[in-house]
Chain A
Amino acid sequence: MSTFPSRPVEVPVETSRGNAVLGKSVIVKGQIFSREDLTIDGEVEGNVELQEHRLTVGPNGKVMASIKAREIVIIGTVHGNVEASDKIDIRKDAKLVGDIRTARIVIEDGAYFKGNIDIVKTPAANANANAKPQQPQVVAAKPPATAPTSSMAAGAAESSR
């Protein structure tokens, strides 16, 4: 197990096809800046910044940090605010406690999330929206169910003070 002091650290620990990986037995306390895609399957406490790249928090990953990246995929656990210029993808069984700021978000059923969601309309996202007006800004993880709709509302009663 490797432990780093509270100062910027050089990533990668392992590299595979341009994707740096922090393995599940690695603990980092401090700041991480990366110029390539990064997968965290260990523990990180501090800040993580990958401005133009993708961060994946793997199934064993525990991140107590604010995160900035182009794209963020969460399969493990994150406590902290996350900001993605393109997309945040929160998978089933993931846990995220913190505020989200992104252009697009995908969240699977079974994921746990607690916090604010702020969708930022970036020029790129707006351009995509203009090119494909039928496509929503927020990508649907699953299409809406098409179970029979029951008709319920029969009337209303109001009381005011």
Chain B
Amino acid sequence: MQTRNSSGLLQFCSHLEDRPGLNILDFAGANQSTITFLTNNYHRLYSQDLLLQLDESFGDGDFYLNQSDPHRMADFLEKSFSFPDKQFDAALVWDTLQFLSSPLLETVMQRLWRVMRPGSCLLAVFHAEEHANNLPCYSYRIVDQKTIGLLPKGMRKPARTFNNRGLEKLFQDFESVKFFLTRDHLREVIVRR
């Protein structure tokens, strides 16, 4: 497993500090490291592997063409976003948004906005290469408050890549977007609802 220092994660964790009992959404799938870190800080965690759910819902055939099928979309949203409004105080979205095409991406962003509380915090990761055909995928996990663990999960074609302007547009309904400039291929974003 690779590890990397993360200013985005540090900021995310500072949002959780001294506020035990927060509800946190994690789209990386369950892993011991993240569970241990968050529950040792007395938070509750909802864990789901969103990429795996995407594969189950859209993976047979053209992955991105299938994402525009209304029936598949409805099934995916039912399985992945059946939460009450304003349920979560924080969300770890990691790099999943890059693998959603329109109109599913816009629908997921609306659902994310709905299920997060005002003032809540979201951490997302985007690959910086703007014209990459395939991106390395990882299973993301929290090692400590400033270190992310990355377990490689092969390569995956993105629906699209985002520059800063694209990210601002993506999170336009949220209160603020903060970019963390890094020296490697990953761009971290902290978003306030």
A residues sitting closer than 8 Å to B (CB atoms) are 90, 105-109, 111-119, 136-142, 144-145, 147-161
Give the size category of B's interface with A.
35 or more
Known A107-B30, A117-B35, A138-B40: A155·B181 in contact at CB below 8 Å: yes
Known: A111-B30, A117-B45. A138 touches B186 (CB 8 A): no
Evaluate whether A152 and B186 lie within 8 angstroms (CB atoms) in the complex, with A107-B35, A109-B31, A117-B35 already known.
yes
Residue of B39, B42, B49 most packed against chain A (CB within 10 A): B39
Q: List 25 A-B contacts (CB under 8 A).
A: A105-B35, A107-B35, A109-B32, A115-B46, A115-B47, A117-B39, A117-B44, A136-B40, A138-B32, A138-B35, A140-B33, A144-B143, A145-B143, A150-B184, A151-B183, A152-B186, A153-B182, A153-B188, A154-B181, A156-B178, A156-B181, A158-B176, A158-B179, A159-B168, A160-B175
Q: Establish whether residues B178 and A158, one from each chain, have CB atoms under 8 Å apart when the complex forms.
A: yes
**Distance to closest chain B CB from A63 (angstroms):** 18
Please name all residues of chain B whose beta carbon is closer than 8 Å to the beta carbon of A116 when the two chains form the complex: 44-47
A152 to B2, CA, bound (A): 13
Chain B residues within an 8 Å CB radius of A117: 30, 35, 39, 44-47
> Complex: how many Å from CA A39 to CA B31?
25
Pair B175/A157 contact, Cβ less than 8 Å: no
Chain B residues near A145 (CB-CB < 8 A):
1-3, 143, 149
The 9 A-B pairs with the shortest beta carbon distances in the complex, nearest first, are A153-B7, A145-B1, A113-B30, A160-B176, A158-B178, A152-B182, A119-B39, A141-B32, A138-B36
Assembled-state Cα–Cα distance A150/B184 (Å): 9
**Other A-B pairs, 13, CB within 8 Å; known A115-B47, A136-B36, A152-B184:** A109-B32, A111-B30, A113-B47, A114-B49, A116-B45, A117-B44, A117-B45, A137-B39, A140-B33, A147-B2, A150-B184, A152-B7, A161-B174
By a CB distance below 8 angstroms, the chain B residues around A154 are: 181-183
Chain A residues closer than 8 Å to B180, beta-carbon distance: 153, 155-156
A151 proximity list for chain B (CB < 8 A)? 5, 183
Which chain B positions have C-beta within 8 A of A105? Answer: 35, 39
Nearest chain A CB to B84 CB, angstrom units: 12
Question: With A107-B31, A141-B32 as given contacts, are A153 and B6 in contact (CB-CB < 8 Å)?
Answer: yes
Inter-chain contact B4/A152, CB cutoff 8 Å: yes
The chain A residue sitting closest to B26, CB to CB, is A117
**Residue-wise interface mask of B (155-193) relative to A, using a CB-CB cutoff of 8 A (1 in contact, 0 not):** 000000000100010001011111111111010100000
